[in-house]
Amino acid sequence: MTLIDLMTSKGPDLGLRLKALKKAGEHKPYDCYQCARCSSGCPSMKLLELKPHEVVGLVRMGFVEEVIESGMAWACASCLKCKERCPQDVAPADLMLALRNLAFEMGKEVPEAYTRILSEVMEFGFVQRPQEVLTKRLVRVNRERLGLPKMPEPSERFKSTFLRALEEL
Amino acid sequence: MFALKVAVFWGCITQTSQYACELSVRRIMKELNVELVDLEGTSCCGTPIKSVSAYASIYLAARNLAIAEATGLTDLLTVCNGCHLSFTEAMRFLKADEALRARVSSLMSEEGLTYEGSVNVWHVMDFLHDVIKKEAITKAVKRSLKGLRLAVHYGCHIIRPSPLGRPDDPEEPRKLDDLVEWIGAVSVNYSEKLDCCGAMLMLSRPDGALTMAGSKLKALRECDVDGLVVICPSCHRMFDERQRSAGAAVGVDVRVPTLYYAQLLGISMGIDEEELGLHLNRSPVDELLSKVKDALSP
Ligand code: SF4
Ligand code: SF4
Single out the residue of A85, A5, A21, A24 nearest to residue A53, CA to CA: A85
B90 has which bridge partners? none
Domain contains A150:
yes
Question: Looking at B123, B154, B183, which one is the last position of a domain?
Answer: B123
Are the C-beta atoms of residues B267 and B292 closer than 8 Å to each other?
yes
The pLDDT of residue A1 = 46
Number of domains composing chain A: 2
Q: Model confidence over A48-98: pLDDT tens digits?
A: 999 999 999 999 988 999 999 999 999 999 999 999 999 999 999 999 999
B132 occurs within a structural domain: no
Contacts of residue B285, Cβ cutoff 8 Å, sequence gap at least 6: B227, B257, B258, B259, B278
CATH code for the domain in which residue B70 is found: 1.20.1050.140
Q: Is residue A66 part of a domain?
A: yes
Q: Note whether B165 and B56 are same-domain residues.
A: no
Q: From the CA atom positions of chain B, what is the Rg in Å?
A: 19
Residue numbers in chain B where pLDDT is lower than 50: 296-298
Buried b (16+ CB within 10 A) or exposed e, B125-157: bbbbbebbeeeebeebbebebeebebbbbbbbb
Contacts of B215 (CB under 8 A, 6+ apart): B192, B195, B250
**What's the confidence (pLDDT) of residue B87?**
98
A1 touches chain B (CB under 8 A): no
Number of domains in chain B: 2
Contacts A162 to B, Cβ<8 Å: 43, 56, 59-60
Same domain assignment for residues A69 and A140: no
Q: Is residue B136 part of a domain?
A: no
User: Domain end: B89, B123, B157, which one?
Assistant: B123
- Do A69 and A145 fall into the same domain? no
The answer to whether residue B117 sits within a structural domain is yes
User: A25 or A39: whose pLDDT is higher?
Assistant: A39
Partner residue facing A113 (CB), from B17, B40, B203: B203
CA distance A133 to chain B (A): 7
A138 has a chain B CB within 8 A of its CB: no
Which residue owns the Cα nearest ligand 1 atom 8? A32
Alpha carbons B254 and B256: distance in angstroms, whole number? 6
> Given an 8 Å threshold on Cβ–Cβ distance, is A79 in contact with B196?
yes
pLDDT for the residue B298:
39
ipTM of the complex: 0.94
Whole-number Å distance between alpha carbons of B139 and A107: 57
Residues B34 and B164 in one domain: no
State residue A22's pLDDT score: 72
pLDDT for the residue A27: 84
Contacting residues of A for B193, CB less than 8 Å apart: none
B241: CATH: 3.40.50.11810
Q: Are residues B159 and B110 in the same domain?
A: no
pLDDT confidence band for A46 (50 / 70 / 90)? confident
Instruction: Tell me if A86 CB under 6 Å of ligand 1.
Output: yes
* Within a domain: B131: no
Give the end of a domain, one of A105, A136, A155: A105
- pLDDT for the residue numbered A24: 64
Containing structural domain, residue A132: 126-168
**Residue B169 domain boundaries:** 141-296
Please write the tens of the pLDDT for every residue from A19-37. 777 776 788 888 999 999 9
Q: What's residue B297's pLDDT?
A: 43
Answer with the one of B123, B155, B179 that is the final residue of a domain. Answer: B123
Looking at the structure, tell me whether residues A100 and A130 fall in a common domain: no
Q: pTM for the whole thing?
A: 0.95
Q: With left for phi above 0 and alpha for psi between -120 and 50, is residue B259 left, alpha or beta?
A: beta
Q: Is the pLDDT of residue A12 over 80?
A: no
pLDDT confidence of residue A26: 80
Indicate whether A83 belongs to any domain: yes
Share of chain A above pLDDT 70, in %: 93
Residue B9 lies in a domain: yes
Any bridge partners for residue B150, and if so which? B187, B227
Q: Does any domain span residue B128?
A: no
**pLDDT of amino acid A127:** 97
